[in-house]
């Protein structure tokens, strides 16, 4: 999902403030028959199979969800969907939680408080924490400042790992800011000051501690699932085209070399021209800023992170949360900061243990009920800044990590209806999200399996998709 574009993420949040869960559907944040505008996440989404394309302008009177839509009867719901949780494809360790998103009332609870390995459904917590701690409109800057001597400039990392190598694209999230633009602006500033020769230094001290987690698999970086975590990178340090390309072992240094080369191409004589080892120095306090570029907003990055299930961006956002709350920018502090932010929203985090913020950490544990409580809070409208979480969840059969799902027998009816975060590791399959049942009631759900048999990931995902489809099709009264 590289190159996903995100537009005006804050729009969903505004509607949630005014109308609560009904507004999520009207804005397209929760897809379904009432959707009247394109979903605010990523590029314009293709129409779900069998659905009619939404009009490009809203109707004069927007239909809304019926606040009086009946709540499913828990006993009827259990009869309808409970047997699906015994599918052998899910393995022996299964948790499920379904709650009424409007009230938070539990409708189905199967081992819902048992902490399980969540894989990438962890990113739901990370997204909420980032929006709460950082705000939805904040951006990070990559700056070049004057060095401690007249012949030095310092490239200062600010937390943007989605930089483009050349020009930035203001309509993009991945590549919103460009390293080439930063070099051109720096060259202009240097020439204006009568300077033509500099040495480029790097200050990437924003994050501290190990760059990789002991919970990651030994091949995760080499396989391109994540980069060593740093506060600066071009295209998340990919060494080749493609989402799962190997990553540079030192992302910030690789970006600094590219910057030096771009600066030289802009007519500035650069000592070593980016070919030698990168010299790291802290930027002088109060140093004059020569040039800067800014990332996409936090809301746009959160949407991108959820839709594409971007592990690197999740870890970087969590480190920003740690720094914003007075902690160091380490794996452990980022994990603790995410849990703290979720707890401060009133969510019960008993049993939650994070090993990083992406879900790659094998020692991460989250109960299913924590996921549904968070999703219910997102949908409630009580915290409008959390609207981009709903907007960023992939849509069944339409976008992100659900693009190629819900095309099997027993699942096609839910294409375009279910919006959920996926989670997959070896032996682990999870799905957590929002859907509207046939009576118009918005439900939050989570189904987690962490003892899937070897080679059984596809079967487990299909079993979970059948569960979500049955839930969406059940008025259950």
Residue 49: is its pLDDT beyond 80?
Answer: no
| Distance separating alpha carbons of residues 224 and 239, to the nearest angstrom | 9
- Note whether 100 and 425 are within 8 A (CB): no
Q: What pLDDT score was predicted for residue 25?
A: 36
Q: What confidence tens digit (pLDDT) does each residue in 347-398 have?
A: 999 999 999 999 999 999 999 999 999 999 999 888 999 999 999 999 999 9
- Note whether 423 and 358 are within 8 A (CB): no
What residues contact residue 69 under an 8 Å CB cut-off, 6+ apart? 439, 440, 441
Q: Which of 120, 295, 335, 380 is the catalytic position?
A: 120
Q: What is the mean pLDDT of the chain?
A: 87
Lowest mean pLDDT among 22-31, 183-192, 199-208, 450-459: 22-31
Q: What confidence tens digit (pLDDT) does each residue in 148-204 have?
A: 998 999 999 999 999 999 999 999 999 999 999 999 999 999 999 999 999 999 999
Containing 184, the helix (H) or strand (E) segment is helix 179-192
Q: Helix, strand, coil: what percent of the chain each, to 5? A: 35, 15, 50
* Alpha-carbon distance values, 53 to 47, 97, 369 (Å): 6, 32, 34
Characterize 335-358 residue by residue with b for buried, 16 or more Cβ atoms within 10 angstroms of its Cβ, and e for exposed.
bbbbbbbbeebebebeebebbbbb
Q: What pLDDT score was predicted for residue 272?
A: 75
| Distance separating alpha carbons of residues 475 and 89, to the nearest angstrom | 26
| Distance separating alpha carbons of residues 357 and 346, to the nearest angstrom | 20
Q: What confidence tens digit (pLDDT) does each residue in 248-276 have?
A: 999 999 999 999 999 999 999 998 766 67
| Distance separating alpha carbons of residues 94 and 87, to the nearest angstrom | 10
Active site residue 309: yes
Q: What pLDDT score was predicted for residue 51?
A: 36
Under DSSP, is residue 292 helix (H, G, I), strand (E, B) or coil? strand
Please give the residue that has the higher pLDDT: either 475 or 233.
233
Under DSSP, is residue 318 helix (H, G, I), strand (E, B) or coil? helix
- Note whether 451 and 111 are within 8 A (CB): no
- Reported as a pLDDT band with limits 50, 70 and 90, residue 65 is low
**Widest CA span of the chain, in angstroms?**
78
Containing 127, the helix (H) or strand (E) segment is helix 122-134
Give the DSSP letter of residue 410.
T
Give the DSSP letter of residue 221.
T
**Four-CA torsion 172, 175, 179, 182, nearest 10 degrees:** 20
Residue 52: is its pLDDT beyond 60?
Answer: no
- Note whether 47 and 405 are within 8 A (CB): no
Q: Please give the structure tokens belonging to residue 196.
A: 């033509």
Residue 38: is its pLDDT beyond 70?
Answer: no
Q: What pLDDT score was predicted for residue 150?
A: 87
The CA angle 252-257-259, to the nearest 5 degrees, is 90
Q: What pLDDT score was predicted for residue 15?
A: 33
Q: Which of 95, 97, 295, 309 is the catalytic position?
A: 309
Residue 10: is its pLDDT beyond 60?
Answer: no
Q: Which of 347, 390, 464 is nearest to 113 (CA)?
A: 347
Residue 69: is its pLDDT beyond 90?
Answer: no
| Distance separating alpha carbons of residues 368 and 116, to the nearest angstrom | 8
Q: Is 346 left (phi over 0), alpha (psi -120 to 50) or beta?
A: left
**pTM score, whole prediction:** 0.88
Cross-strand pairs, 432: 421, 446
* Alpha-carbon distance values, 365 to 59, 171, 201, 349 (Å): 44, 36, 40, 10
Residue in the structure block whose two tokens are 């999520």: 24
Q: What pLDDT score was predicted for residue 4?
A: 36
| Distance separating alpha carbons of residues 443 and 72, to the nearest angstrom | 9
Active site residue 459: no
Active site residue 123: yes
| Distance separating alpha carbons of residues 263 and 258, to the nearest angstrom | 9
Q: What pLDDT score was predicted for residue 274?
A: 62
Q: Which of 212, 231, 232 is nearest to 222 (CA)?
A: 212
Q: What pLDDT score was predicted for residue 110?
A: 97
Please give the residue that has the higher pLDDT: either 402 or 61.
402
């Amino acid at each position: 999902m590289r190159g996903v574009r995100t537009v005006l993420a804050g729009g969903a949040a505004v509607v949630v403030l005014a109308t609560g869960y009904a507004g999520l559907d009207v804005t397209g944040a929760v897809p379904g028959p009432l959707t009247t505008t394109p979903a605010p996440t990523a590029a314009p989404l293709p129409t779900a199979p069998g659905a009619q394309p939404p009009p490009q302008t809203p109707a004069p009177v927007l239909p809304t969800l019926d606040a009086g839509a009946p709540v499913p009867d828990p006993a009827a719901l259990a009869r309808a969907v409970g047997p699906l949780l015994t599918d052998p494809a899910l393995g022996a360790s299964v948790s499920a939680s379904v709650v009424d998103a409007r009230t938070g009332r539990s409708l189905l609870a199967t081992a819902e408080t048992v902490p399980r390995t969540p894989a990438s459904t962890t990113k739901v917590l990370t997204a909420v924490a980032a929006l709460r701690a950082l705000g939805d409109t904040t951006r990070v800057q990559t700056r070049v400042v004057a060095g401690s001597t007249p012949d030095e400039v310092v490239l200062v990392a600010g937390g943007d790992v989605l930089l483009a190598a050349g020009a930035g694209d203001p309509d993009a999230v991945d590549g919103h800011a460009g390293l080439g633009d930063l070099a051109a602006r720096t060259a202009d500033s240097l020439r204006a000051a009568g300077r033509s020769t500099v040495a480029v230094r790097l200050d990437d001290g924003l994050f501290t501690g190990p760059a990789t987690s002991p919970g990651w698999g030994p091949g995760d970086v080499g396989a391109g699932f994540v980069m060593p975590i740093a506060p600066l990178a071009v295209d998340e340090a990919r060494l080749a085209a493609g989402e799962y390309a190997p990553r540079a072992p030192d992302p910030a240094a690789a970006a600094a070399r590219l910057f030096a080369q771009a600066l030289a191409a802009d007519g500035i004589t650069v000592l070593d021209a980016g070919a030698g080892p990168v010299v790291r120095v802290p930027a002088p306090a109060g140093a004059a800023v020569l040039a800067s570029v800014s990332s996409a907003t936090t809301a746009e990055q959160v949407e991108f992170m959820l839709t594409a299930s971007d592990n690197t961006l999740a870890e970087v956002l969590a480190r920003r949360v740690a720094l914003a709350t007075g902690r160091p920018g380490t794996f452990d502090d980022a994990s603790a900061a995410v849990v703290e932010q979720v707890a401060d929203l009133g969510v019960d985090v008993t049993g939650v243990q994070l090993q990083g913020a992406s879900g790659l950490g094998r020692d991460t544990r989250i109960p299913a009920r924590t996921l549904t409580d968070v999703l219910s809070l997102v949908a409630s409208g009580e915290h409008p800044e959390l609207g981009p979480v709903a907007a960023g969840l992939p849509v069944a059969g339409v976008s992100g990590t659900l693009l190629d799902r819900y095309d099997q027998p027993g699942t096609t009816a839910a294409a375009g209806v279910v919006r959920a975060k996926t989670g997959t590791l070896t032996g682990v399959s999870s799905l957590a999200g929002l859907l509207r049942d046939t009576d118009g009631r918005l439900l939050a759900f989570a189904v987690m399996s962490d003892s899937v048999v070897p080679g059984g990931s596809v079967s487990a995902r299909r079993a979970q998709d059948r569960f979500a489809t049955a839930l969406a099709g059940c008025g259950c009264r």
